[in-house]
A and B are shown apart, each in its own frame.
Chain A
Amino acid sequence: MRLACDTGGTFTDLVVERAGEIRLFKASTVPADPVQGVLDVLGLAAVAFGLDRAAFLAEATTFIHGTTRAINAILTGNTARTAFLTTEGHPDVLVIREGGRIEPFNFMVPYPEPYVPKRLTFEVPERIDAAGRVVLPLDEAAMLAIIERLKELEVEAVGVCLLWSVVNGVHERRVGELLAAHLPGVAVTLSHVLNPTLREYRRASATVIDASLKPLMFAYLDGLTDRLREAGFRGRTLMVTSGGGIMDAEDVARSPIHSINSGPAMAPVAGRFYADRDFGSAMAIVADTGGTSYDVSLVRDGRIPWTRETWLGQRFRGHMTGFPSVDVKSIGAGGGSIAWVDSGGLLRVGPGSAGSTPGPVAYGKGGTEPTVTDCSLILGHIDADFFLGGAMPLDRAAAVAALDTKVASRLGLQVEEAAAAVLALATEKMVGAIDEITVNQGIDPSSAVLIGGGGAAGLNAVAVGRRLGCAGVLIPEAGAVLSAAGALMSELASDYARMLFTTSQTFAHDAVDAVLAELERRCEAFARGPGEGALETTIEFSAEARYPHQIWEIEVPLAGRRIDGPEALAALKSAFHDTHKTIFEISDPGSGVEFVTWRARVRCRLRAAGAGRVPPPAGGADLPASRRVYVAGTGWVEARIARFEAMRPDEPLPGPAIVESSFTTVVVDPGTTAVRTAGGGLRVTF
C-alpha cells in the first residue's frame, strides 16, 4: 500500500493506493500543527478501510508528501534570519537583480525589496574571473571578522554566492569550511553546490532562499517522520519536488528549495501517463484548475519541459530562483475569480478572487462578489443539489442576484448571457496562458491533447480545448486529484549539472568526456544509494546549447552517454538545429553551436507503471436523465446527464451533455462527443 498526502492551505488530501485501486480522503489542514492534519486524514482513511490507524499505517510501504509549508513561510516572512555573503565590490546582487518590469505606467507597485536585507549582506574580499582563475585570493582574516559579526547579529542561516563559483568553487568551499568551523549549528548553503548555473542574481537568490528554509524545514520534516513512526509507519518517507520527482525527506531537509514549487509540478507527471494511455498522444497540455489559480504545464515527446525562470510571486515583482523546475505557467483564474465591469464598461474576470473563504456567492459563506463558479451554476452546468456529491448545497438565487447587480445590469444583458460571457472570458484567459507556454516550449496545440485536472477543470476544459484547436480533451478518472495521482506515479530522481563551455568548431572532446563521466558517476552513486532496489534505473544526458552570441540556451538530449567522435557531434549539432526550429520557427544550419552546460538526470522507478482505478461508489445519489443548461448563442436546452463512474467505454455521449461525479462536473458542449476510455477517463473530441 502506498500513500500520497498533499497539505494545502485549506485541505489535507490523501490518496491511498491499495490492491490496484485508489481512494481519496480529505481533512481540514491544521495551520498551527500541519502534521496533525496529516494524522487526522490518515485516521479517516483507516476507518474507511476498517482498521485502526497503527494497523493501517503498518501496511504502507511508502508515504509521499507534498506541502506548501516552505512557500508559505516565504510568503509570510517566517523564514530564518539569513545573511548573504557575496564577492567584494558586488554587495547589491539581490537589490539590482536582472531588471525588468511589467505594466510600464503602473507606479503604484514599489520596487521589490531584496530577499536578504542589505544590513545582513557582507562582502567577502576575493575574486575569481570568468576563466576560473583566482584574481584576488580569499582574505581569510576578513572572513573570520565577518563570522564574528554574524555571531553578534545572531544569524540563523547563511547563503554564500561568489562570482564564478560555478567555474571554480574553491573560495566558496573554503568559506563553507570556515563557517562550519566557527559558526557551528548555523545552516549554510553554497551556491555552486545548490544551483550551478550562470547569472549571479538567480543563483544567489536560490542560495539565500534555500538557506533561509533550512531550520524550519529540518524541524518540520524531523517532526513529521518521528510522529509517523510513533503512529506505526515503518516505510519510507518521500517528498515531492519542484522538478516533478520525489526525494527522501532527509535530502529535502538538506536542500529545502526543492520543495517550494512542488504542488503544480506533479500534475504533468500524471498527465504524461494518462495522455499516453488514454489518448495515445505524446503531446499533452496539462491544465490544473484550482479555486484561485490555473496552472498549465506540458508534456512533449514524453518529456516534461523545464525552465530556469521560476518566480516566487509575480514575474519581476517576486523573487526568481533560477532553479530548474517543471515549466508551469500560473495565472489567477479559477472558480473563485471575481467577475466585474470596469468604469469604461469593460467586462473583467479577476485578478480578484473570492478564494475558498468567503468563496462564491452560492456557497452562502458571506461571499458577495459573483465568481466564475456562480456563473457555472447559473447556466445549469453545476447542479445545485449534487455539488461535491451533494455534500454542499448551493444557493443559485443568490448567485443570480449578485451577477445581475454587479455585471448583467451594467452591461444591459440578461443574467444568463452575462454568465456565459464571464465563462467565455475566463476561457480566453486560460487559452492565453496556454498560448504563452506553448510558444515558449515549441508545442503546436493542434497536435496536443488537453488534460483537465482539478475539481473545476471540467466546467470549461472542452471550451478551452476547442478554442485551441486541440486534438481532444481528456478528463482522467483521478483528474480531481491529479497532483496526488502524479505523486504516486513519480520516480525517485536526481539531476546533476556541470558548466563547461565549448563550441562545435573547437569541441573539447576530452574535457566533455571527463564531465560526462563525472556526471555518470554521480548518477550511479545515487542509483546505488537512494535508488537501491529500484525496478528500473535510467540515466539521460543532455546539453544546454545555443547559437554563437545567443544567451538563452535550449536543452538538447544526447543520443548516448558520450560524444565519442565526429558523428556523435554532428548528430548533436543537428538535433540542436531541429529543436531550435521547432521552438522558434527559425534555425541557422550554417552556424556553429555553443555548448554551455552538461546535465545528467537519473530516475529510479520504484513501482510498476500505471495508476490504480477509482472504485465505483456504493449506491450514490440518483441523477435525473437530463436537465436544462444554457448554451451561449442558443439559449436554454435540455442536456443529457451521465454519471462519470457509471459510463461504459465506447458508448459515445453527444453534447449538449453533463457528466458528473462526486469530484467533478464535465460540460460536454454541443457539437462535441464524450466517451469513456478503457482506462476510466473521459475523452471529448470535436
Chain B
Amino acid sequence: MTAAATPTPHDGIRMALFSSRIESVARKMQNTLFRTARSGILNTAHDFSCCILTSDCRLLGAAESLPIHTLIGPDLMCEAVKRHHPTLHRGDCFLHNSPYEGNSHAADHCLIVPVMDEDDVLRFFVLAKAHQADCGNARPSTYLADVADVYEEGALIFSATKIQTDYQDNQDIIRMCRARIRVPDQWWGDYLAALGSVRIGERGLLELGREAGFDALNDYAEAWFDYSERKMVEAIRRLSSGRATARTKHDPFPGVPDGIPIKVEVEIDAEAGRITVDLRDNPDCQPSGLNLTEATAVSGAMVGIYNGIMDHTVPANAGSFRCLDIKVRENCCVGIPRHPHSCSVATTNLADRVTNPVQRAIAEIARGFGMAETGPIMPPGIAVISGRDPRHDGAPFVNQLHLAISGGAGTPASDGFLSIIHAGNAGLSRIDCVEVDELHHPIIVSTRRLVPDTEGAGEHRGALAIHGEFGPIEDCDLRVLYTMDGSINAAAGAAGGSSGSPSRALRRGRDGSLTELPACHGLTLAPGERVVSFSAAGGGYGSPLDRDPGLVLQDVAEGWISAERARAVYGVVIETKGNDMAIDNAATRALRQGCATGENGS
C-alpha cells in the first residue's frame, strides 16, 4: 500500500479542529463512567475504555483508553452489531461481550450505540467497554484460567444483544443479568454508568453533526485517517529494515502443564513504512482460559509496535493501522478462537506474551527502538477477592484489587514506568489506595513496598517488583483467586539489558510461617492469615554498564539497588561518607573497562 495522498491546504486546519472535538467527546464519555461506576475495578482502578468509530466500523478516537481494549476489537464488535441487526434506529443500545465476535474476555461488557442522524441514517458508533467485577463465571473471578472451555468458565455471553430500544431498557435482559451476576446491584450500577457514558457520547456527536454537517465530518475523518497513516509511515522510516523472530513462553498452568510457547515473526520494511507480525506459527487453542480473542491477539501485537516506534504523536486509529499487517489464524491460542474454547483471561497473560516479544524483536532489528519486556501479570496483588462482609451483616462482595503491581519495561529513553500494570494496559488504569480497599472490603493490607535489587538491569532499568500482603479482618473468610504468570519465565531484557525478577505467591499462616503457592490458584484465608504477592519486575534496556553512574548513585541512595549490585551489575563503585554517598570515578572507570573486556567476569 502506498502512503496517502498529500493534503489539500485546508485539511491541516479542519482535521485539527475535528480531531480535537472527537477526543473531547471520548473524554466526556470516560469522565462519566469513572465518576458514576459502582465497582472498584471501574471507579478506582479505571479498567474501562470509551471510543468512537465511523459508520463503517473504523476506529476514529479513543481518548486515553487501554490499548488492549481498543486498538482492534471495537471495529469487529460494531460489525457484529450490523451483521445481526441490519436495521438500526436511534435509541438502540447493544450489550456485547462475545469473545468469538470481536470482544476481549467475557468480563469486558461493551455497550454499543449507533449514532443515527435526524433521518435515521447511521453516522457513527460509540462504544464503552467496562471490565465487570463479576460476569457470572462458575467461580468468583473474572479470570478463570483453569477451565477446559466456555461451559466450565460459565460466563454469560451476549452477542450484539439489544438491551435498549428507543432509550428504554429491555427488562428481560436486565433480569437475566441480575439472576446470574454476583452482587447484582453492583452490576446494575455499573451498567447505568456505562449507559450514561455512551449516551453522553451520542449526544456530543449529534451536536457535532448538526453544527458541521455529517457529510463534512466524513471528509474530515478520511483526512484524519490519511494524516495518521502519513505519521506512521514517517515513524517507521526512522527504523531499520529487517526480520527477527522472538520467542517467549507462558508459565505452566492447569490444562497446559508444559506452558505455552509463543513465537512472533516481525518484519520491518522501513522504506515502505510497513511492519508485519506473523502469529500463525503458534499452538492451537488450548483447554484453558488463556486463549486470546482475535481482538486481543491483534491488539497485543500492535501494542508492541506502538510502544516500539518511540513516536507517540502518531494517532493510533484505523489510519495508522493501514501500515500494519498482523497475521493470525483460526483456532490458534494467539489468533481467532474457535468456540467453545475459553478466552477468560484474554486481555492479560498471553496477550502480554505477544506484545513483549514484538517490542523486543523491534529492539533487535532497530537499535534505539523497541522495548524490553514488561513484567508478566496477575500476582495475588491484583487478585479477585470475594466473600461476605461481617461489617455489613454478611453482605456478599466481589471485586478485583489493583493493589500491588508494577512491571514497567526499560525503554530506549526511560526507566520502566512503575505503575504500568501490564503491557496491554500501558499504565492507564489506577492503583488502589490501601485505605479505599480496606474501607470497601473486609481486608487489612499489612505491607506494600518496592523490593530492592529486583529490577531488570540496563542502561534504562526495568521497574522494581512490589511486595504486597493482605488478609481478611476478624470474622471473615476471604476467597482469593489469581492467575499469575512470570514465576518461571520472567520479563526478558532487550539490547543487552537483563531480566526482571520473577513473580511469586505465598501464604503466611497465623504463626508467620510462609508456604509457596501455585501460579494459578484459588485459596480461602481465615482471619490472621495473609496472601503474600511479589509482582514481576520489568526487563532492562541496553547494557547496565552503559547506565549513567549518576542514576546508579541515585538508585543506591534511594535504596532501590544495593551498593553491591551497583558494583557487580552496573560496574559503579559507590563510597559512603557519613550521610553522603559519592561515585568513586576512577574505580568505576576501571571496573567498567574490566567488565567490558570480560576480565572481572561479572
Partners in one complex: yes
Asked if A104 meets B28 with Cβ closer than 8 Å, knowing A412-B9, A551-B40, A591-B185, the reply is no
For A439, list chain B residues within 8 Å (CB): 28, 31-32, 200
Chain B nearest CB, measured from A595 CB (Å) = 13
Encode contact with B along A101-114: 1 for CB under 8 Å, 0 otherwise: 11111111111000
> What CA separation (Å) do A548 and B185 show in the bound complex?
9
Asked if A100 meets B9 with Cβ closer than 8 Å, knowing A89-B448, A440-B35, the reply is no
Contact yes or no, A95 B450, CB < 8 A: yes
Encode contact with B along A161-204: 1 for CB under 8 Å, 0 otherwise: 00110000000000000000000000000000000001111000
Encode contact with A along B12-38: 1 for CB under 8 Å, 0 otherwise: 110111001101100110011011111
A96 within 8 A of B: yes
User: B268-276, B409-417, B594-602: which lies at the A interface?
Assistant: B409-417
Q: From B42, which residue of chain A is reached at the shortest CB distance?
A: A551
Q: From A152, which residue of chain B is reached at the shortest CB distance?
A: B579
Contact of B426 among A89, A101, A342, A421 (CB under 8 A): A101
Contact yes or no, B28 A550, CB < 8 A: no
A153 within 8 A of B: yes
B435 within 8 A of A: yes
Contact yes or no, A341 B448, CB < 8 A: no
Instruction: Identify which of A343, A440, A548, A550 gathers the most chain B CB atoms within 10 Å of its CB.
Output: A550
Asked if A343 meets B195 with Cβ closer than 8 Å, knowing A90-B449, A92-B450, A425-B17, the reply is no
Contact of B435 among A97, A102, A200, A346 (CB under 8 A): A200
> What CA separation (Å) do A347 and B11 show in the bound complex?
9
Asked if A342 meets B434 with Cβ closer than 8 Å, knowing A547-B189, A549-B38, the reply is no
Chain B nearest CB, measured from A149 CB (Å) = 10
Asked if A428 meets B28 with Cβ closer than 8 Å, knowing A107-B307, A586-B192, the reply is no
For A106, list chain B residues within 8 Å (CB): 312
Contact yes or no, B450 A99, CB < 8 A: no
Report the count of interface residues on B (CB-CB < 8 A).
Answer: 98
Contact yes or no, A97 B558, CB < 8 A: no
A636 within 8 A of B: no
Contact yes or no, B466 A96, CB < 8 A: yes
B87 within 8 A of A: no
> What CA separation (Å) do A334 and B493 show in the bound complex?
44
B513 within 8 A of A: no
User: A222-230, A429-437, A615-623: which lies at the B interface?
Assistant: A429-437
> What CA separation (Å) do A545 and B560 show in the bound complex?
40
Contact yes or no, A199 B24, CB < 8 A: no
Contact yes or no, A104 B39, CB < 8 A: no
Contact yes or no, B28 A130, CB < 8 A: no
Contact yes or no, B438 A586, CB < 8 A: no
Contact yes or no, A200 B16, CB < 8 A: no
User: B93-101, B214-222, B226-234, B252-260: which lies at the A interface?
Assistant: B226-234
A145 within 8 A of B: no
Contact yes or no, B28 A436, CB < 8 A: yes
Contact yes or no, B579 A346, CB < 8 A: no
Q: From B13, which residue of chain A is reached at the shortest CB distance?
A: A421
B430 within 8 A of A: yes
Q: From A413, which residue of chain B is reached at the shortest CB distance?
A: B9
Contact of B38 among A129, A412, A429, A548 (CB under 8 A): A548
B64 within 8 A of A: yes
For A586, list chain B residues within 8 Å (CB): 36, 192-193, 195-196
Q: Ordered nearest first, which 4 A-B pairs have the shortest CB separation? A: A99-B431, A101-B427, A106-B312, A104-B426
Contact yes or no, A96 B418, CB < 8 A: yes
Q: From A348, which residue of chain B is reached at the shortest CB distance?
A: B16
For B559, list chain A residues within 8 Å (CB): 118-119
For A49, list chain B residues within 8 Å (CB): none
Instruction: Identify which of B66, B200, B416, B434 gathers the most chain A CB atoms within 10 Å of its CB.
Output: B434
For B168, list chain A residues within 8 Å (CB): none
Contact yes or no, A110 B189, CB < 8 A: no
13 residue pairs bridging A and B, Cβ less than 8 Å apart: A99-B402, A99-B429, A105-B314, A164-B435, A198-B435, A343-B234, A344-B231, A345-B230, A412-B9, A425-B20, A432-B23, A547-B38, A584-B36
A117 within 8 A of B: yes
Contact yes or no, B38 A341, CB < 8 A: no
Encode contact with A along B434-450: 1 for CB under 8 Å, 0 otherwise: 11101110001011111
Contact yes or no, B20 A550, CB < 8 A: no
Chain B nearest CB, measured from A546 CB (Å) = 9
B306 within 8 A of A: yes
Contact yes or no, B313 A591, CB < 8 A: no
> What CA separation (Å) do A583 and B421 show in the bound complex?
31
Q: Which of B158-198 contact A (CB under 8 A)?
A: 185-186, 188-189, 192-193, 195-196
For A98, list chain B residues within 8 Å (CB): 430-431, 433
> What CA separation (Å) do A200 and B189 show in the bound complex?
26
Other than the given A118-B558, A431-B24, 11 more pairs (CB < 8 A) read A98-B431, A99-B419, A99-B430, A104-B66, A111-B415, A119-B557, A412-B9, A421-B13, A436-B24, A550-B36, A588-B188
Q: Which of B513-527 contact A (CB under 8 A)?
A: none
Q: Which of A336-354 contact B (CB under 8 A)?
A: 341-348
B199 within 8 A of A: yes
> What CA separation (Å) do A95 and B307 show in the bound complex?
24
Contact yes or no, B428 A101, CB < 8 A: yes
Contact yes or no, B312 A108, CB < 8 A: yes
Instruction: Identify which of B186, B414, B466 gathers the most chain A CB atoms within 10 Å of its CB.
Output: B414
The size class of the interface chain A forms with chain B is 35 or more
Encode contact with B along A489-523: 1 for CB under 8 Å, 0 otherwise: 00000000000010000000000000000000000
B86 within 8 A of A: no
B7 within 8 A of A: yes
Seen from chain B, the residues whose Cβ lies within 8 Å of a Cβ on chain A are: 6-7, 9-13, 15-17, 20-21, 23-24, 27-28, 31-32, 34-40, 43-44, 46, 64, 66-67, 185-186, 188-189, 192-193, 195-196, 199-200, 227-228, 230-231, 234, 306-307, 309-314, 316, 371, 391, 402, 408, 411-421, 426-431, 433-436, 438-440, 444, 446-450, 463, 466, 469, 473, 557-560, 579
A424 within 8 A of B: yes
Asked if A95 meets B43 with Cβ closer than 8 Å, knowing A90-B434, A163-B435, the reply is no
Q: Which of A407-432 contact B (CB under 8 A)?
A: 411-413, 421, 424-425, 428-429, 431-432
For B32, list chain A residues within 8 Å (CB): 439, 584-585
Q: From B199, which residue of chain A is reached at the shortest CB distance?
A: A585
Seen from chain A, the residues whose Cβ lies within 8 Å of a Cβ on chain B are: 89-92, 95-111, 117-119, 127, 129-131, 135, 152-153, 163-164, 198-201, 341-348, 411-413, 421, 424-425, 428-429, 431-432, 435-436, 439-440, 501, 547-552, 580, 583-586, 588, 591
For A341, list chain B residues within 8 Å (CB): 12
Contact yes or no, B428 A104, CB < 8 A: yes
Contact yes or no, A588 B12, CB < 8 A: no
Contact yes or no, B34 A129, CB < 8 A: no
> What CA separation (Å) do A305 and B64 show in the bound complex?
25
Contact of A108 among B231, B414, B421, B434 (CB under 8 A): B414
> What CA separation (Å) do A105 and B307 show in the bound complex?
5
Contact yes or no, A110 B444, CB < 8 A: no
For B230, list chain A residues within 8 Å (CB): 344-345
Contact yes or no, A550 B37, CB < 8 A: yes
Contact yes or no, A549 B186, CB < 8 A: yes
> What CA separation (Å) do A269 and B7 show in the bound complex?
46
Contact yes or no, A198 B439, CB < 8 A: yes
Asked if A107 meets B411 with Cβ closer than 8 Å, knowing A96-B418, A198-B435, A588-B189, the reply is yes
> What CA separation (Å) do A164 and B439 show in the bound complex?
10
Chain B nearest CB, measured from A525 CB (Å) = 29
Contact yes or no, B189 A551, CB < 8 A: no
> What CA separation (Å) do A631 and B307 show in the bound complex?
43
For B436, list chain A residues within 8 Å (CB): 198-199, 551
> What CA separation (Å) do A96 and B17 show in the bound complex?
37
Q: From A164, which residue of chain B is reached at the shortest CB distance?
A: B435
Asked if A436 meets B27 with Cβ closer than 8 Å, knowing A96-B466, A164-B435, A550-B189, the reply is yes
> What CA separation (Å) do A119 and B580 show in the bound complex?
11
Chain A nearest CB, measured from B448 CB (Å) = 6
Contact of A428 among B20, B64, B67 (CB under 8 A): B20
